[in-house]
Amino acid sequence: MTAPEESLRLETVKGPITAAYARPRSPFATIVVAHGAGAGMDHPFLVGFARACFEEGIAALRFNFPYVESGRRSPDTEGVLRDAWRAAFEAASDRAAGDPVWASGKSLGGRIASMAAAEGDIDPAGLVFLGYPLHPPGKPERIRDEHLYRIEAPMLFLQGTSDPFASPELLRSVVEKLGALATLVPFDGGGHSFEVRGRKRDPHEVGASLAPQAASFIRDHG
């Protein structure tokens, strides 16, 4: 079943951005989902995840960052990305009718969600990371974790064990430091987009396969 989506235009400091919102009957939560650095909100992985969340009973809003909206390849500055997150989160909250609103994102989208939460731009009930970019590939010394310790909401890390953006040992250490707020679910052999070498899967299917884990975590932390 395809989720009936409402097309939205959201105002940001860099002009309007596109968003898509789908609300099932009697959702138990809302999730806002941001894309990664190299693809917009219509990438099959993101669409698969958002629509599978809908099937799980979660309202879902996905959106473009301004650089994608304007057809550019290079991501916007952190401030612009956080402002887009604020606009998307506010739009979702306005439609949530008091239900909890969660933040989620693929790679860059998830990292910016966590930064926005740490800085108080958004106040999510929790966060779901779809492959957190803990460090640049091959540079584990450049770890991006300082702001995570300022987040006071539950965090779910869905992460491939072969993701070059996150050494399994380093990520496990970060999650342990975060304590009871954080949960790590490793996907054996999964890369940065949860692809597994030697196993061909449609990105839509891969994204959709992560929704049950996310929905279970959201239910448990409702």
Instruction: Compute CA distances 5 → 60, 105, 168, whole Å.
Output: 9, 19, 36
Residue 46 lies in a domain: yes
Per-residue pLDDT of the chain (222 residues; tens, 9 = 90+): 466 899 999 999 999 999 999 999 999 999 999 999 999 999 999 999 999 999 999 999 999 999 999 999 999 999 999 999 999 999 999 999 999 999 999 999 999 999 999 999 999 999 999 999 999 999 999 999 999 999 999 999 999 999 999 999 999 999 999 999 999 999 999 999 999 988 888 999 999 999 999 999 999 998
Position 1 in a domain: no
C-alpha 188/C-alpha 56 separation (Å) is: 24
d(CA 89, CA 24): 18
Structure tokens, 154 = 């539950």
- Helices then strands, counting H and E runs in the chain, come out as 7, 8
- Quick one: pLDDT at residue 198? 81
3-state secondary structure of 105: strand
d(CA 52, CA 67): 26
How many separate domains does the chain show?
A: 1
- Residue 117 within a domain: yes
Q: What is the CATH number of the domain that holds 60?
A: 3.40.50.1820
Structural domain includes residue 182: yes
At residue 4, the pLDDT reads 82
> Phi and psi dihedrals of 182, rounded to 5?
-115, 145
Q: Is residue 73 part of a domain?
A: yes
Q: Structure tokens of 153? A: 């909401």
Domain containing residue 27: 6-220
**Inside any domain, residue 47:** yes
Q: For position 3, what pLDDT does the model report?
A: 63
For residue 148, the SS3 value is helix
